[in-house]
Amino acid sequence: MSPMYGDPRVLGYLGRALSLELSAVQLYSTQARLVASWGLDEPARRLREESREEMEHVERVIARMLALGAAPGASQLRPVRLGRDLVALLQADYDFEMELVQLYHDAATYCARSAQQDDRIFFETLFNEEQAHARELVDWIKKLEVSIADPRRPQR
């Protein structure tokens, strides 16, 4: 391992990102298993896919930390938040995703102000991906709420 040469604040953002992304993998994996136990196969499949996407973010954060000479280490995983139905799970997921969005926004803003273009681009890319994911969750929640209001429509 080469010596650390990254900005300590950027490394701090990366460490928090690693903790949150690993927590997201745990969250979506757990929820997928729970939803499958409810007999909701399609939502379980979607949640497993979310877990895989978050794992890709974990790998990218680790690669970035290694490139900056830092040993990756997640400080703490968040406890998994569950709910009594799919809508409650997805609302908790949305809140969690918004934490990631805020973290990546703050990190990208800091990097832009300190003229660290490579780091800014890295964080902006993750920001955009997490923001898109948050919008997808909102859309999914809205569809479920319409399905609940009209029981003839299947829940997906």
23-61 pLDDT per residue, tens: 999 999 999 999 999 999 999 999 999 999 999 999 999
Residue 71 has pLDDT above 70, yes or no: yes
Domain extent at residue 20: 8-148
Residue at 81 is within a domain: yes
Confidence of residue 1 (pLDDT cuts 50, 70, 90): very low
Q: What is the pLDDT of residue 135?
A: 97
Distance CA 134, CA 138 (A): 6
Cβ within 8 Å of residue 128, ≥6 positions away: none
Q: What is the pLDDT of residue 151?
A: 56
Are 138 and 94 within 8 A, CB to CB?
A: yes
Q: What digits encode the pLDDT tens for the residues 85-113?
A: 999 999 999 999 999 999 999 999 999 99
Residue at 153 is within a domain: no
Distance CA 120, CA 118 (A): 5
Residue at 86 is within a domain: yes
Residue 73: what are its φ and ψ, rounded to 5°?
A: -160, 115
Q: What is the pLDDT of residue 51?
A: 97
Query: Considering only CA atoms, which of 46, 50, 61 is closest in space to residue 123?
Result: 61
Residue percentage of the chain with pLDDT more than 90: 81
Q: What digits encode the pLDDT tens for the residues 76-91?
A: 899 998 889 999 999 9
Q: What is the mean pLDDT of the chain?
A: 91
Residue at 154 is within a domain: no
Residue at 97 is within a domain: yes
Q: How many domains does the chain have?
A: 1
Residue 75 has pLDDT above 50, yes or no: yes
> Is pTM beyond 0.85 here?
yes
Which CATH number covers residue 50? 1.20.1260.10
Are 5 and 116 within 8 A, CB to CB?
A: no
